[in-house]
């Protein structure tokens, strides 16, 4: 519960509702007390119904991407999580017409492609060559 408060609630604010699976950390009395104290409705997903869990849906997208990058080196999987998460957060959702990053932060995340395109617009032969000759 401490990690949830410090890393999520104090960063993004208090939610009205938390939907989770029936994991031990979510059904613990401490978690129930925190939710009650902070006015958060806790909703648990029925057992054996992973389709209802949004994290499970994201994991379904994550696993094939991770498999491509890890190949046969199964001990290196954790180093690929951050880049895959970034790619998933900056990919446009066809149904919503926006990215997860936009829904979370209210803005798009700046990508390497944007940086490279920005530099192409700043450094052109017309404005660069006179500076070095």
Extract the tokens encoding 71.
């190949």
User: Within a domain: residue 44?
Assistant: yes
User: Within a domain: residue 7?
Assistant: yes
Identify whether the C-beta of residue 99 lies closer than 8 Å to the C-beta of residue 90.
Answer: yes
pLDDT at 50: 61
User: Within a domain: residue 22?
Assistant: yes
Residue span of the structural domain in which 30 resides? 1-52
User: Within a domain: residue 18?
Assistant: yes
Residue 82 CA to residue 131 CA, distance in Å, equals 39
Give CA 16 to chain center in angstroms.
20
User: Within a domain: residue 1?
Assistant: yes
User: Within a domain: residue 48?
Assistant: yes
pLDDT tens digits, the chain, 133 residues: what are they?
788 889 989 988 999 998 887 777 777 888 899 999 999 999 888 776 666 667 777 888 888 888 888 888 888 888 988 899 899 999 999 998 999 999 988 999 988 877 766 655 656 666 555 555 5
Kindly report the pTM of this predicted structure. 0.59
Q: Check which CATH number belongs to the domain holding 38 and give it.
A: 3.30.420.10
């Amino acid at each position: 519960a401490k990690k949830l408060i410090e890393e999520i609630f104090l960063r993004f604010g208090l939610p009205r509702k938390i939907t989770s699976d029936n994991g031990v950390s979510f059904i613990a009395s401490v978690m129930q007390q925190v939710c009650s104290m902070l006015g958060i409705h806790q909703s648990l997903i029925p057992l054996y119904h992973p389709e209802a869990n949004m994290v499970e849906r994201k994991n379904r997208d994550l696993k094939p991407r991770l498999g491509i990058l890890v190949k046969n080196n199964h001990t290196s999987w954790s180093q690929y999580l951050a880049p895959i998460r970034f790619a998933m957060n900056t990919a446009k959702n066809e149904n919503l017409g926006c990215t997860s990053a936009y829904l979370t932060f209210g803005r798009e995340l700046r990508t390497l492609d944007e940086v490279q395109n920005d530099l192409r617009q700043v450094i052109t032969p017309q404005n660069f060559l006179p500076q070095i000759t």
